[in-house]
């Protein structure tokens, strides 16, 4: 799945506005009875899907930002219909365009894997759709030298980041379309900052996939 950075930013901005509106609406309707729908009585959400992110693999001015494609797997345990704890694993893969150098290296394959955990809030629940947001924190493992391993060249010599396990985070919103009480299609957009090379990278990510709901809230 190839997404544009402008599309991701627009989706992210729309998500923020949408969730702000639904949060305000929920406060206004706070005295109304809570609707109990069978599609939101599950204990676990299990999610899998295709993912893409927009990432700059180096601090140098000549290092191009690139698109990474991969996968996203999540599991959310719901404590209540409106609150749960999410565990997320993500893998992204792509090719770095290495700036001109005298070492004879023009490109390098790279990978990034993130392992994150944090609260997940389901702010809006309807028969056919639901929406919410999450704040996830954890680790990001970046490998940037896959195209020149064994050559003795270090990534920093090419002005790209050295291999590192760094801090990672994901803040964003999601939208589910319910196919039935057990299955849904989900779209998620995230601001996904990482911290390679003692710097913060403003990575943006998106994923589309399916949710399977299991168990039952007591």
* Domain ranges (residues) in the chain: 5-26+42-214
What confidence score (pLDDT) does residue 186 get? 98
Q: Which string of DSSP letters, residue by residue, matches 37-49?
A: -GGG--SEEEEEE
Q: What is the DSSP string of 16-71?
A: HHHHHHHHHHHHHTTTSPPP--GGG--SEEEEEEEEEEEE---SSTTPPPEEEEEE
Among positive and negative, which fits the CA dihedral 76, 180, 126, 39?
negative
Question: What's the pLDDT at 37?
Answer: 82
pLDDT at 60: 75
Q: What is the pLDDT of residue 30?
A: 41
pLDDT reported for residue 26 = 46
pTM: 0.82
Low-confidence ranges of the chain (pLDDT < 70): 1-36
Supply the pLDDT for residue 6: 54
The whole-number pLDDT of residue 2 equals 44
Residues 97, 68: Cα–Cα separation, whole Å: 12
Tokens of 210: 């399916």
Which tokens is 191 given?
Answer: 């601001």
Half-sphere exposure of 97 (CA within 13 A, CB side): 9
- The pLDDT score that the predictor gives to residue 27 is 45
The answer regarding whether domain 5-26+42-214 maps to CATH 2.40.160.20 reads yes
């Amino acid at each position: 799945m190839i997404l544009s950075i402008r599309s991701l930013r627009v989706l992210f901005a729309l998500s923020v506005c949408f969730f702000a509106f639904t949060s305000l609406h929920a406060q206004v309707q706070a005295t109304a009875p809570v609707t109990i729908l069978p599609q939101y009585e599950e204990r676990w959400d299990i999610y899998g899907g295709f993912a893409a992110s927009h990432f700059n693999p180096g601090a140098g001015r000549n290092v191009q930002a690139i698109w990474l494609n991969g996968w996203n797997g999540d599991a959310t345990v719901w404590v209540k219909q409106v609150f749960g704890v999410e565990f997320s694993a993500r893998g992204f893969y792509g090719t770095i365009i290495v700036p001109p150098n005298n070492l004879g290296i023009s490109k390098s394959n790279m990978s990034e894997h993130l392992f994150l955990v944090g609260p997940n809030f389901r702010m809006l629940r309807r028969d056919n759709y639901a929406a919410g947001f999450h704040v996830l924190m954890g680790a990001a493992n970046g490998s940037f030298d896959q195209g020149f391993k064994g050559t003795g060249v270090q990534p920093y010599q090419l002005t790209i980041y050295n291999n590192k396990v760094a801090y990672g985070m994901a803040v964003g919103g999601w939208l589910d379309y319910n196919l039935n009480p057990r299955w849904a299609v989900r779209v998620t957009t995230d601001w996904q900052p990482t911290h390679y090379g003692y710097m913060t990278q403003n990575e943006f990510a998106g994923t589309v996939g399916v949710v399977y709901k299991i168990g039952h809230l007591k």
